[in-house]
Structure 1
Amino acid sequence: MQNAATSKPKKKGLKMPHLLVLILSLLVLMSLMTYIIPAGQFGTDPETGAILSDQFHLLGYQTPVNPWRALTLILDGLTSSGMIVGLLLAAGGYTGVVLSTKAIDETVDYAIYKLQDKGINVLVPVVFFIYCFIGAFASGDQIIAMVPVGLMFAKKLRLDPIIGMSIVILAYFVGGLSSPTGAMLPQLTMGLELYSGFFVRFVIFLVLSTVAMLFVLRYAKRVAKDPRNSVMDPADWLDQESTGAADSLKAVELSRSSAIVVVLFLLQPIVSLILVSVIGEPRGAMVAVMLIWAFLCGKIKGLSTDEIGGRFAKGAGGMAFVGFIIGCAASMSLVMSQGNILHTIVYYACLPLKELSVGTATIGMSFVITLINIVIPSASAKVAILCPIIQPMCETLGIPLQVGVSAFMFGDKLTNILSPFLGITVGSLALANIPYNKYAKWVLPILVILAVVSYICLFVLAQIGWQG
């Protein structure tokens, strides 16, 4: 038996509260703020309802919303968010069916298997772009399971584990920076059309992915030329018998059905965008396409209709909690609006940015979100907390909402590359046996480069008034 006198107490690390606890706490906090923050309002255009940023005034009295009333507003928030929640449920169900077919996994495994004997100049860019696309169109925490594959390639090419991890995880994060489909949640929350701005975001995605890939390729060439160029001690990795991955991949064949499903998966948002934005179909067409695609992809992979229905239900169920959080976010906005503090918060938050150009103000807004992302890495949490404030900020500063969405996305994703609070990052470092300080030293320059490129894109889009 262990001696109680000599046993060491188990240390508890910093743990973020559950998202529900965080959102409800913020809802109650916002309720209390209606007793403290001076009530104020912007003037609005009587015809369009748009905020008149030069016509703000304090009411001179408080209009508080008590905590009980704030909690009762959750149902109103859910009701007002019905269309958003409905689209999310459909998207979750459809994606659940596609992912359950393993068509994407099979396609990735096949591509990597075919590339395993290629040189650095081919292998690094192609594998990096594969995982960029996964980060942009099929994101999920399961990406960490692919890190051993990256490590195996690094070993075969006599490269350090940082490269093995980066061609998977760094690529995954970069893919999400300007994901055309990843913009869905902030777009819906801010009242924009789903998938609007798809092609501009896709171009930015290609630019950012290329910049990051060239950085990794340059480093890989330096390490290949001389292992002492690695930021890690070559003795720690160069002659290891194993990196935690198999020496070679098993032979993989790509079935025609998997290839067709992947093509359909990539085409779905484009078809939805054309139907709604070009042909003029109502938003319900998006749900119709997702349902048709779910059954089509399932049938192509040989699933029965009952199996498709079950997997759709499971995928939609995974989005149910996110939908509830969105309703809570809407109720938080109602509390701020009924307490007349939303405009006050926006007015004073915008004051430091008002004297700046629209482009520079957009960068400033994105930078603030980046700082918040360090301590609150959950994208759903930040959508719930920040979007009700970002939207009127954009209207006040004259920033197009579409640009505001991109500012949010850059701020939300950039520091994920470095964040010690994010499970994917920390877990991948542990899996690859990479010390955090070594990784941080290596990744910081590319983080700065990506931030600069992202901010340049924001500046240009804001200056030209991009509406998507």
Structure 2
Amino acid sequence: MEQRKFQMPTAYTILFCLILLVALSTWFIPAGSYDYADGIPISGSYHAVAPAPQGIGAALKAAFRGFYDAVDVCVFILMVGGFLGVVMKTGAIDAGVSNVISRLQGRENLLITILMLFFGLGGTTYGMWEETMAFFPLLLPIFLAAGYDAVVGVAVILLGAGAGVIASTVNPFATGIAAGFAGVSLGEGLLWRLIQFVIFEGAAIWYVSAYAARIKRDPSRSVVGIGAGRLHADVGRVQPLTRRHAAILLIFAATFLTMIYGVIPFDEMGLPLPVLGWWFPELSALFLVAGIVVGLMDRLSEVELAETFVSGCTDLLGVAFIIGISRGITVLMNDGHITDTILHWGETALSGLGSTSFVLLVFLIYLPLSVLIPSSSGLATLSVPVVAPLGQFAGVGGDVVVTAFQSACGLVNLVTPTAAVVMGALALGRIPYEKWLKFVWKLILLFLLLTGLLLVLAAALS
């Protein structure tokens, strides 16, 4: 008989198992609570409270209660999905990239830098990741026809966007959600994330460009090989960038710039600019209105606009599900009065550690957690409410914890086999998983070292 290979369960199964595990743990972990001041636990104030073990009924209802608890986040994510669905429907994104390709034909080395910056900006601002799947069929033939291998085409997109996601400056799916649960504003730690973005995106561009130049000179050095079966692109058939497409791209950019402006607390940063104080309800309305405006600009009918927007929402429904289920774990822990007990254990364990040791340990812990739960938003919902308060005891601000969290999530998602984008991209490029690891491991190691140095500096100066 053929033995079945082990297959990593989905994030949904992992989260439901964690719900059952947490419910069971409420029967064994002592119940306790801290005294709080402005939402922050007071060190040394932990005391025992009456136990409240959670049964099977509470476990079954936990995911639904998690949705109620995080409904603003879930609705916002669906609105972003609808907006992106409408924009992709118009063809403006494809036309914009195609226009760049046609203008730079024969200068693909410059194209590598431009496209990686484009994807990097998308990754750092709104967590552009799943959306990159639309670009692989468009860009892979271009790089293959230019004499590169499939690894270059995949790396331009994956590492370009991935470096941006690692340094998620204002990414609402990672930094925004994590900052909310950590009790800090999105503007706190922004300078460190901007520095991280510049360094990491620059390193990724250098890494891919150096590899591309190397195999251009000597194709035998390709990790997958360049053979006669490579594809060719007809750039003459590339979709032109119309005035309507250009206008839609302006609305697309303006929407995310408005989002960025709306959530930044300029007063806390000492800048004399009006503060909008927007959060998930306002941002949801922004993306809903922007999606309608883009649809009308493209002259979509009322039926087509509605169906396209709903279809876009569906694309991110899984993310909303994961957030709700993840939040259910926190609900169970709170109802069972074990959250503060775990915080107390953490306070005791970390009492001898300084800020540097603490933030490095948080980063290392998040690496394996990101493999089990590839959704950054889901992992933020699950863990940050527990981890961030521990930083208060070690003298580490919530913004530094958020940076450690987002860096680990973004880094792991470049290589983990549980990430659908990575495996889908490799399948489109016909790149074996082990060949991708052979290509990218040195950059991953560099990112690890740079992240550790950045966190040490941020913790020391926080």
Please give the range of the TM-score, normalised by the shorter of the 2 chains.
0.7 to 0.9
C-alpha deviation, 1:265, in angstroms: 1.9
Structure 2 counterpart of 1:415, from 407, 412, 415:
412
Q: Structure 1: which amino acid aligns with 2:275?
A: I
Question: Does structure 1 residue 367 correspond to structure 2 residue 357?
Answer: no
C-alpha deviation, 1:312, in angstroms: 2.7
Describe how 1:31-430 pairs up with structure 2 within 5 A: 31-45=23-37, 48-57=38-47, 59=48, 62-120=51-109, 122-136=110-124, 137=126, 139-141=128-130, 143-179=132-168, 180-181=170-171, 182=173, 183-192=175-184, 201-232=193-224, 236-237=225-226, 240-246=227-233, 248=235, 250-275=237-262, 277=265, 278-280=274-276, 283=279, 284-349=281-346, 351=348, 353-430=350-427
Per-residue displacement from partner, 1:212-262 (whole Å, max 9, x unpaired)? 111121222233333454445xxx42xx22324536562331112222222
Aligned to 2:460: 463
Structure 1 length as normaliser, TM-score?
0.83
Aligned to 1:4: none
C-alpha deviation, 1:171, in angstroms: 1.9
Contact 1:23 1:381 (C-alpha < 8 Å) held by counterparts: no
**Structure 2 runs not aligned, ≥5 long:** 266-273
Q: Structure 1: which amino acid aligns with 2:197?
A: F
C-alpha deviation, 1:444, in angstroms: 0.9
C-alpha deviation, 1:173, in angstroms: 1.9
Summarize the Cα distance change of 1:161–1:274 in structure 2 as closer, same or farther, 3 Å threshold: closer
Structure with max Cα Rg:
1
Aligned to 2:431: 434
Aligned length: 448
Q: SS in structure 2 opposite 1:266?
A: helix
Q: SS in structure 1 opposite 2:43?
A: strand
Aligned to 2:269: none
Contact 2:262 2:276 (C-alpha < 8 Å) held by counterparts: yes
Q: Structure 2: which amino acid aligns with 1:387?
A: V
> Partners in 2 of 1:111 and 1:307 — Cα distance?
29
Q: SS in structure 1 opposite 2:34?
A: strand
> Partners in 2 of 1:350 and 1:221 — Cα distance?
51
Summarize the Cα distance change of 1:27–1:245 in structure 2 as closer, same or farther, 3 Å threshold: farther
Q: Structure 1: which amino acid aligns with 2:330?
A: S
> Partners in 2 of 1:367 and 1:299 — Cα distance?
47
Structure 2 length as normaliser, TM-score?
0.84
Summarize the Cα distance change of 1:339–1:124 in structure 2 as closer, same or farther, 3 Å threshold: same
Summarize the Cα distance change of 1:119–1:312 in structure 2 as closer, same or farther, 3 Å threshold: closer
Per-residue displacement from partner, 1:92-116 (whole Å, max 9, x unpaired)? 3333322322211221222123223
C-alpha deviation, 1:352, in angstroms: 5.0
Contact 1:358 1:462 (C-alpha < 8 Å) held by counterparts: yes
Percent sequence identity over aligned pairs: 24
> Partners in 2 of 1:322 and 1:429 — Cα distance?
22
Q: Structure 2: which amino acid aligns with 1:274?
A: Y
Aligned to 1:5: none
> Partners in 2 of 1:354 and 1:174 — Cα distance?
34
> Partners in 1 of 2:210 and 2:315 — Cα distance?
40
> Partners in 2 of 1:75 and 1:166 — Cα distance?
39
> Partners in 1 of 2:142 and 2:385 — Cα distance?
44
> Partners in 1 of 2:318 and 2:141 — Cα distance?
37
Summarize the Cα distance change of 1:191–1:297 in structure 2 as closer, same or farther, 3 Å threshold: farther
Summarize the Cα distance change of 1:60–1:168 in structure 2 as closer, same or farther, 3 Å threshold: closer
Per-residue displacement from partner, 1:441-462 (whole Å, max 9, x unpaired)? 2211100112222333333333
Summarize the Cα distance change of 1:218–1:20 in structure 2 as closer, same or farther, 3 Å threshold: closer
**Structure 1 runs not aligned, ≥5 long:** 1-7
Q: Structure 2: which amino acid aligns with 1:41?
A: S
Summarize the Cα distance change of 1:357–1:258 in structure 2 as closer, same or farther, 3 Å threshold: farther
Per-residue displacement from partner, 1:66-95 (whole Å, max 9, x unpaired)? 221233454443333233233333333333
Question: Does structure 1 residue 449 correspond to structure 2 residue 446?
Answer: yes
Q: Structure 2: which amino acid aligns with 1:126?
A: I
> Partners in 1 of 2:135 and 2:200 — Cα distance?
22
Q: Structure 1: which amino acid aligns with 2:154?
A: M
> Partners in 1 of 2:146 and 2:72 — Cα distance?
50
Contact 1:353 1:364 (C-alpha < 8 Å) held by counterparts: no
> Partners in 1 of 2:137 and 2:69 — Cα distance?
44
Summarize the Cα distance change of 1:78–1:449 in structure 2 as closer, same or farther, 3 Å threshold: same
Per-residue displacement from partner, 1:263-297 (whole Å, max 9, x unpaired)? 22222233234345433455443333223322222
Per-residue displacement from partner, 1:119-143 (whole Å, max 9, x unpaired)? 53x1322232233234444634353
> Partners in 2 of 1:308 and 1:191 — Cα distance?
37
